Amino acid sequence: MSHIMMTRRLVSGWRRPAPSSCLMSSLEKLSLQTHITTSMPHRPFILPYNHSFSSEASKADDTKSTIVELPPNLKFDPRAKSSPFYGVEKVVSEKKRKKEQKEKAKDIQTEASSAASLDKESGDDVLEAGSEIIDDDDDEEEDTDDYYDDEEEDDEEEGERILYDLSTKPDVARAIPLPQRLHVPVIDIKTGEEVGTFHLSEKTFGNDPIRVDILQRCVVWQRNKKRGFRNAGAITKTVSQVSGSGRKVRPQKGGGQARAGHSRPAHWRGGAKAHGPKGKVQNYNTKLNKKVRKMGVRHALSQKLYEGNLVITSDMAAPTHKTREMDVMLNRFGISGKKGVTALIIDDADPDDAEKKESVYGGLDVNFKVASGNLKKVQMLNQMGCNVYSMLRFKKLVLSLAAVRSLEERLERDL
């Protein structure tokens, strides 16, 4: 028999020969159903592997599976947010617990001994002092014994593994699935209280998955547009324009130096400028279709809603233009301040809907615009200026109901 056949039979077992007839006896059927092994000349029937375990064993396996060892070859701080053990409790062994208990007992003994020494100084009897000295000697002997025990435990703990319990890891915040995600609360920006709910449009705020390639194209287009036209009128001199003769500076060979034909090369002092501007206006603008730009805005809005960084407010009417009061209003949402995050605020106020027409200019509330102008972490724009680059730069996005309606109407016009 070959080695291959032998290994196959050892792994899979001996095959049961086919019955002599197609019909099986009732006794064999009964033995197969009840898993009873009968005395047959061939391989006996083996019970199938049962995956069900006892409750205690399963609990023990679950606890073992949640405990993970920190590999000794990895050198990183478990307190770092990038580590897989961030926020996970460390499993303390029984030896370490006993050691901590002994340390606590030693601290209690040292406190008691210090109190006893104070009593000695206060003027106790000589006999009591002598008895205490004897007791102190006994304590020193016990301390030496504990010292050797601790040394043995330290030697054992040098090879001890570092274990972490993954069941104590905090849960990761997950996004609400669609379409429940589109149902958002409306908050009053003056008080920070919820005043109602609003259902966002799925075409504008419900894009899933997020097209990162579209966002990247929009960001590159905006940055190139910001560069715009550069080096208008700048001219540098070429080799033919720089002053200097065309005489050969030194002999071609024999000097131990590099070859030089004239004194005006670009890498010499006082020489020409290689590949410099020639007085032409350089245009850095790139082309991007309007539909792609609108798609980028829709996906950026959907990304902010997916992250949970979208805040919908009833209006952006500020009672005063004081920056301090505006900072207090925005701190309710975790925006601005020393520990607050950055935010992009977008509004589309209508002068006819405002209490005073003079308080609205360019689709923005004048008091809100002036008060937020001194805050470094806050920027306020009209909905026509809503762009991908600004939304990705800031952490949170604050939209008024008027801005939401205008954005949905403008971005869904060609769909």
Instruction: For residue range 204-241, list pLDDT tens digits in order.
Output: 999 999 999 999 999 999 999 998 887 777 889 999 99
Q: Evaluate if residue 409 carries a pLDDT over 90.
A: yes
Give the span between the Cα atoms of 67 and 77, in whole angstroms: 18
Give the span between the Cα atoms of 332 and 193, in whole angstroms: 10
Identify the pLDDT of residue 121.
64
Identify the pLDDT of residue 213.
96
For the residues 333-353, what does the mean pLDDT come to?
91
Give the span between the Cα atoms of 29 and 23, in whole angstroms: 10
Taking the model in full, what pTM does it have?
0.58
Topology (CATH level 3) of domain 180-209+288-411:
Ribosomal Protein L4; Chain: A; (3.40.1370)
pLDDT, tens only, 133-148: 444 444 444 454 554 4
Are the C-beta atoms of residues 196 and 185 closer than 8 Å to each other?
A: yes
Identify the pLDDT of residue 1.
52
Does the CA dihedral 390-392-393-396 come out positive or negative? positive
Are the C-beta atoms of residues 306 and 178 closer than 8 Å to each other?
A: no
Q: Evaluate if residue 85 carries a pLDDT over 70.
A: yes
Give the span between the Cα atoms of 376 and 342, in whole angstroms: 8
Q: Evaluate if residue 255 carries a pLDDT over 70.
A: yes
Confidence of residue 277 (pLDDT cuts 50, 70, 90): confident
| 387, two tokens | 């762009």
Answer with the residue of higher pLDDT: 27 or 96. 96
Are the C-beta atoms of residues 331 and 384 closer than 8 Å to each other?
A: no
For the residues 109-135, what does the mean pLDDT come to?
62
Q: Evaluate if residue 294 carries a pLDDT over 50.
A: yes
For the residues 63-68, what does the mean pLDDT come to?
68
Identify the pLDDT of residue 322.
93
